[in-house]
Chain A
Amino acid sequence: MIKQKAVMIGAGLANMAAAVYLIQEGHWDGSAITFYSIDNHGSNDGAVTAETTDEYWNQNHPMENSLGYVARGGRMLNYRTYVDLMDLLSRIPSATEPNMTAAEDTYDFDAKHRTFDKARLLQGGKGILEAGKLGLDNKDRMLLTKLVMMPDSQEETLDNVSIADYFKESPHMFQTNFWYMWETTFAFRTQSSAQELRRYMHMMIYEFTQIEHLVGVNRTRYNQFESIMLPLINYLKEQHVNIILNKRVTGMTFKDTTMGDEITVTGLTMVDTQTDEEEHVEIPEDTAVIFTNGSITDSATQGDMDHAAPENTDYGAAAGLWKQVAGQFYNLGNPDKFFADRDASEWVSFTLTSKDHLLLNEIARITTQVPGNALNSFLSTQAITPLGQQDINMSIVVHHQPHFTTQKPNETVLWGYFLYPRRRGEFVDKPYIKMTGREMAEELIGQLSKVDPGPVNIMTKKDAIMAAIINNVPVYMPYASALFNNRAKADRPKVIPAHATNLAFTGEFVEQPFQMIFTEQSAVRSGEIAAYHFAGIPMSKLVKTPRYDKDLKTLAKATKKMFS
């Protein structure tokens, strides 16, 4: 239904995209759009640590050391397939580079700093592994081929099938270089959805052919707050969009109808997160409600150099509202599939800030690559999985420096994560989730020492490296991979659910054709769809999605790669 105004619940990428499209394609006035949100970045955060301590999820967990920087996660882009994201960024000015759009900014940076990963996988005793040899056997190939051959119309045969279920006839899959790279590049877990794996295989089939070098990975100049969110915020503010922060929407009221299936939002209840005051906002007939119904960084907590990140057991702000809404209708999905199974979705990241380049130089020496956006994963030498297999201990991303605009020239920032945070460290004998920032840094140095080709091992410089660390901020994210949780197609609401007159869903927990999630791309597209719907723009005007999974040349290359 066509509307004249919009209320956005959540100020993450998806809803900011919706606002841009409403203004530029729908020709709406910016003042017709109002955001209510806890913060202004969603999962695309990146800031001086001290600026994050008062944020909603950190208020109850004060930090002793708030020096350095923190970015809870980071995203690798792919120009070839992230067409909606690049379209969005081409419409707004960069926040850091004058006379460039945000798209031109990233194209410019990426052209000068192409990704070519030379040390994607490392292992003690072997150093850099030949990751290009995927290690698949015929059974693995057959199962992967089945996934690639499965058309969109048969996707529902993978309802409630986990990756572990799908490959149960070939657990060998989980000991291949392919899997080690796949799980750590995209943060899939064995409990994750095979339906989503299939979408990834289809959408990223081109990159499958060059997965070990990450040649298709493109990156933003700085962290994703400064390179993506800030340009959006600046643009929307200039357009007089109302962005009201520190508001947590806790409930929606709906119109009573005879059949009970019409979905018309009549009001919102929200709480001010600073004052705890509750307020109710009426939703008039001319107003759409565009709701980001889940966040992978909800309930995230931070530690510091000498404190582990505490575990927050809250359900999740956006997901809690989704649950309240979904409980009133049959077709709005099942939030519990994503937010009531932390074992399937949790992981821990860390952002390490150092006052010199010693650690970075050592990593560059060991991995033989200059700092700049590669992803390195350390494979265990012992069996560490329930199936008695080896697996990745930890992964790091060494950004091109500076990663933050306010970084001093001598400072360096790098990021890392532990995909299975309940496993124990090899050098610090405790679960990763219980480690302080200091202990995580020691674990990293230990892992580097195992793969160090010498002649002078990094361990001899450990004291100097540790002394130079300003802070290392562990971040516990219980829902980091929740969007990959095992699901049935009906577990996520459609962007525009059937019978919805003024409500749309956006973000990473919605159902839309073909798109894979945990990318900036699908979030933007969901916002685009919501905007086009309420502005009355035909869906035929959506940015065209390239289908490399239907390109014979790409399919042939992928087949060849499978046999490498």
Chain B
Amino acid sequence: MSSSADSGTMKMNLMKGMMIMKKFLAFTTVAIGIAAVAGYYTAKKMELFVTDEHDYDDFEA
């Protein structure tokens, strides 16, 4: 095989690899994003961010 054909194949493989990497990164980002949003809304539903600051207001003299 000629060296120019070799480098052309290498370039193609590299580009393919980068595309796969990009797709993987995009997929992972979206998955993490969905998980984060789901986690946030679950935490909100469970009132994890709500403090007990006013729980005893009824008992103030």
Contact = CB atoms under 8 A, between A and B. Distances in A.
Nearest to B60: A539
Nearest to A495: B59
A539 B56 contact: yes
B47 A496 contact: no
Contact of B48 (A514, A536, A550): A550
B24 to A, nearest CB: 26
B55 A513 contact: yes
B61 interface: yes
A529 interface: yes
A498 B60 CA distance: 11
Interface string A114-140: 000000000000000000000000000
B47 to A, nearest CB: 4
A151 B56 contact: no
B36 to A, nearest CB: 13
B50 A536 contact: no
A2 B55 contact: no
A152 interface: yes
Contact of A542 (B45, B48, B50, B56): B56
B61 A494 contact: no
A533 B45 contact: no
Interface in B35-61: 42, 45-48, 50, 52, 55-61
Interface residues of B, number: 14
Contacts of B50: 151-153
Nearest to B48: A550
A529 B59 contact: yes
Nearest to A154: B47
Interface residues of A, number: 26
Contacts of A152: 47, 50
A80 B59 CA distance: 25
A514 B61 CA distance: 20
A538 B60 CA distance: 6
B46 A2 contact: no
A479 interface: no
A151 B60 contact: no
B60 A533 contact: yes
B35 to A, nearest CB: 14
A384 interface: no
Nearest to A551: B48
21 contacts: A1-B61, A149-B45, A149-B46, A150-B46, A151-B46, A151-B47, A152-B47, A153-B47, A513-B55, A513-B56, A529-B56, A532-B59, A532-B61, A534-B61, A535-B61, A536-B61, A538-B60, A539-B56, A545-B52, A550-B46, A552-B48
Interface of B: 42, 45-48, 50, 52, 55-61
Interface of A: 1-2, 149-153, 494-496, 498, 513-514, 529, 532-536, 538-539, 542, 545, 547, 550, 552
